[in-house]
Structure 1
Amino acid sequence: MSERRRVIPGHGPRRAGAASLALVLGGAGVLLGVTAGSAQAAEVSYATRCVPPAAAGLPPVDGTTKAEITAPATAKVGDEVEVVWKFVQAASKNPDLIDLPANSVQPSGTLKAAGAQTTAVAMEGPRENPAIPKGGDMVLADMKGKLKLTAPGEVKLTPDAYDINVMSTDTKCAPTAAVQPAATINVTASDGTSTPTPTPTGTGTGSPTPTGTPTKTPTSTPTSTPSATGSEDDGTGQTDFTGKEVQVPYACNTPIGEKNATSPVQINAKKNGGSYDLTVRFKGSVMDSPAPIPKGSVKPSMEVVLGGADKGTVHVEGPTNAEDIKAGDPMTIPDLKGTYKPGASGESTLSPGVLTVKALGTTTTCTPTKSEVSLKLDTAEQASGASGGGSAGSSGSGGTSGTASGGGLAETGAESNGALKALGLVAGTAVLLGGAVFTFMPGRRRLR
């Protein structure tokens, strides 16, 4: 009998140590459970309708939202718990219109709490996303919110409406059918007593639903300057020729449809031997930037139309933005430059022609609906000059010969004859991005 009860050397302390460790861990678990239980995560899917901004002129889009809600399984009255909303799938994909730059999309929304207390929990995520190519799946950051627990019982959490803010414009998404709760918190009284039967109390203290970042209203508009006169006769020795400012009506073909706009344009010239260095200027600061613009993302160009004695076009272009543009900074249009080599002798006229803007991978082309002469020059024919209908200009301050290629996004204003914010660089980008990012996405789970 004593042999059977003999303790093998070393085994007793090992068992005692294991028991002590279990006791310590158990005690730690008790201590951790005093404030909130282990986190739980559950996924729910619901039919959603997303409404783009009215200025985009796009219809609502119906899709499916899949959201994963994470919250503590247990907590006590008085606790403030964090709730996380992960987008397993947004009700959209990025359409084949424009590449969304990194960190340009921000989600916010509302999570409904019901049961022992009823309230709305404000949820918001950071403006953090990878670059999203045209046609790619929308990637939205996780949203977080705080819920102050005020009554014992079961508190059920249900995802509700959310906004997608893209460069200062909002697309609003809301459920079109009943949504099932995604998580439940079992709330005990602060003294540790048992949980009573849950009854709605309506004493929640949620914060207001976020409405997204308001669109920045343009604070400056193009200003007109008195018309200036050009050269009457190059024989006078004059080298600088200032054109008059003309109001050019444009019909623009944009990624979101046809738009009309009018813009003030001035063409100036400087004689350089037998040729002229041209500068096309869009007058005034169009607006303040509604969102950060990465450097090198926007480039405008134009075909200046020749008339009178000469024929053809001269290609002029502006540089891409050399630096990042901060939100709220004034938006200015760079001068477009190129070289004009006359192809005929006599009085030649120069008028603003087809405008293109290349921005964030998109193309917009704006064609004047009426010719407006800005500058007249008395020209002398040069070898291999413009006359004959071809594109003129070789090089000069970034100008290149040949017909303009590429082009880009223009914001031309929702109303007819609105100021040509097309060259406001990002105004239209904001409308396009905010209004067009939501198209139907087939029900497939986004890889995580």
Structure 2
Amino acid sequence: MSAAGVALMLGGAGILISAGPAQAAEVSYKTECIPPSISGLPPVQGTTKVLITAPAEAKVGDEVEIVWKTVQAASKNPDVLDLGQDTVKPTGVLTVGGAAGGTVAMEGPRKNPPIPKNSPMVLPDMKGKLRLEKAGEITLTPGNYTINVSKPLSTDTKCAPKETVPVGATIKVTAGGGGTTTSGGTTSSSGTTTSGGTTTGGTTTSGGTTTGGSSNSTGGSGSGGSGGGQTAFPGKEVAVGFSCQAPGPAAITSKVTIDAKKNGGSYDLTVKTAKGVMDSPAPLPAGALKASMGIKVGGADSGTVNVTGPPNPAALKMGDPVNLPDMKGTYKPGATGKATLSPGTLTIKVTLGDSQMEIPCQVKGAVQASLELDTSKQAGGTNGGGSNPSGGGSGTPSGGSDGGNLAETGAEDDGALRALALVAGTVILLGGAVFTFTPWARLRR
């Protein structure tokens, strides 16, 4: 690589002057990269190769430009998705050592050629500026860097050294005094580092509305079709643990309450969860995340009632707590007697344009019933015609199937469909933000 002269900007006057010959030195270091949480993938180990270019000599008071060229990223673009042109943006941190300390924030443009699957990552050069205020030898050492991929979902992969990194460049600073500081917002001799990466903005969701009602597990309206008696049946709050499939959160713990309101021979259900049941897996626009749940019917009746909530009303930043709005559906009894309603599978659906991912979260362990109702059998009820889909869930009535097995059969079919959606969604949402190899066998699982 030729040692071209690096322009120096003198103070704020905008006068370009010649500096000492530029130097470039390639260094390599073992690196651990943390994929986005939405990917569900483990950290990946690799080797990063960096070429640091800076002027060999400068004077106190000069502001020098430093260039970070990523010769080799920690891994190739996984065999998952082709990355489009100008979708990748790197940021990083250089450590200043020697005669002075501090850090330099490095940033590259969102500019890259198309990057096919299973091919080397091509990252644009990052640049930063350092104002020199102390004489002596100044060392520049590359360190942490972050890769942001903007499409189809803005995601960050954060990479950090796993060994001592060699010095990438040295600047001989003559004359003057004072401490070395960085321009562009990073700190001086304290050594505070500026993290890179960009994310889309957003605000935390406002959460679902809740209805009143005391904790009461028992209904008591008697016959389902009668016009008098009690019409509102508040459920009791029960604790539920959910185990989610990747790339969803590993586990969710929430309090769940099922309330019912009599509507003719049926019951309108409202299901409430605790606030902050999970963290947003990525920056999401308003309307991108939606939850549904399969309410298990037991006791004298059987089957599943699907309840669905509205999408998130406001945009979410990555890591924001997610408050699921109330989920609603209709329960039509399929048997006469005391029927119980308990929380079942929670499904998180993420939709971005034409791309969609469904993450099923299965109930862990035994769960108490939140509500018990005195019911009267209705034509087409859960026990006589399968799961009631009126809440907008994915289950559908099974027609002439045996009533005692409908809930189990529907769950198996639904699980298969969601598994397929998970694979397709994972391929789309991972983008190229993950520096790791993702075997297709893993995606199939």
TM-score normalised per structure 1 = 0.62
Give 3-state SS (helix, strand or coil) of 1:387's partner: helix
* One-letter code aligned to 2:233: F
Q: What is the 5 A alignment of 1:358-397?
A: 358-359=349-350, 361=357, 363-387=359-383, 391-396=386-391
Partners of 1:315 and 1:132 in 2: how far apart? Answer: 42
1:112-135, Cα deviation, whole Å (9 max, x unpaired): 455xx4544322448979999998
Offset at 1:351? 0.4
Mapped partners of 1:278, 1:136: distance in 2: 51
- In structure 1, which of residues 258, 267, 287 is the aligned counterpart of residue 258 of structure 2? 267
Q: Which moved more, 1:38-47 or 1:379-388?
A: 38-47
Cα distance between partner residues in 2 of 1:202 and 1:168:
40
How far apart in 2 are the matches of 1:239 and 1:134? Answer: 58
Deviation at 1:154, TM superposition (A): 7.0
Q: 1:129, 1:370 → 2: CA distance?
A: 52
Closer/same/farther in 2, CA of residues 367 and 59 from structure 1, 3 Å limit:
same
* 2:241 partner amino acid: P
1:227 aligns with 2:215: yes
The letter of the residue matching 2:216 is: A
In 2, the alpha carbon distance for the partners of 1:42 and 1:225 equals: 70
**1:24 equivalent in structure 2:** none
RMSD: 5.2
Question: Are 1:132 and 1:139, in contact at CA under 8 Å, matched by a contact in 2?
Answer: yes
- Give the whole-Å Cα distance in 2 for the aligned partners of 1:210 and 1:265: 42
Q: Cα distance 1:273–1:368, how it changes in 2: closer, same or farther (>3 A)?
A: farther
Change (3 A) 1:32 1:344: closer
In structure 2, relative to structure 1, the CA distance for the partners of 1:274 and 1:45 (3 Å cut) is farther
Distance, in Å, in 2 between the alignment partners of 1:265 and 1:179 is 54
Q: How far apart, CA to CA, are the structure 2 residues paired with 1:141 and 1:179?
A: 22
Question: Structure 1 60/355 Cα, relative in aligned 2: closer, same or farther at 3 Å?
Answer: closer
How far did 1:380 drift? 1.8
Q: Which runs of 5+ in 1 are unaligned?
A: 1-30, 191-200, 409-431, 442-448
**Of the candidates 42, 46, 51, which is equivalent to residue 63 of structure 1?**
46
Q: Is the 8 A contact 1:313 1:392 kept in 2?
A: yes
Match of 2:235 among 217, 228, 243: 243
Question: How far apart, CA to CA, are the structure 2 residues paired with 1:342 and 1:287?
Answer: 32
**Correspondence 1:20-59 to 2 at 5 A:** 35-37=17-19, 42=24, 44-50=26-32, 52=34
> 1:425 matched to which residue of 2?
none
2:192 matched to which residue of 1?
209
Does residue 76 (structure 1) correspond to residue 76 (structure 2)? The answer is no
2:311 matched residue in structure 1:
320
Residue 105 (structure 2) aligns with: 123
- Which of 88, 93, 117 is matched with 1:109 structurally? 93
Give the whole-Å Cα distance in 1 for the aligned partners of 2:66 and 2:117: 32
Alignment of 1:167-178 (within 5 A): 171=158, 173-174=160-161, 176=163
Identity %: 46
C-alpha distance in 2 between matches for 1:77 and 1:349: 78
C-alpha change, 1:256 and 1:49, in structure 2 (3 Å) is farther
Task: Say if 2:326 is the partner of 1:335.
Answer: yes
Q: Work out the CA distance in 1 between the residues paired with 2:253 and 2:126.
A: 42
In structure 2, relative to structure 1, the CA distance for the partners of 1:291 and 1:383 (3 Å cut) is closer
Q: TM-score, normalised by structure 2?
A: 0.62
SS of 2:382's partner is coil
State how far apart, in whole Å, the 1-side matches of 2:312 and 2:109 are: 23
CA contact (8 A) 1:344 1:387 kept: yes
Q: Given that residues 293 and 393 in structure 2 are in contact (C-alpha distance below 8 angstroms), is that contact kept between their aligned partners in structure 1?
A: no
Residue 200 of structure 2 is matched in structure 1 by none
Q: 1:64 to 1:320 in 2, by over 3 A?
A: same
Shift of 1:282: 0.4
Counterpart of 1:439 in structure 2 is: 436
Which of these residues, 126, 143, 146, is aligned with residue 129 of structure 2?
146
Aligned equivalents of 2:193 and 2:136: distance in 1? 27
Tell me if structure 1 keeps the 8 A contact 2:219–2:372: yes
Structure 2: 5+ residue runs without aligned partners?
1-12, 183-187, 197-203, 352-356, 397-409, 420-428, 439-445
Distance 2:310 2:243 in 1: 24
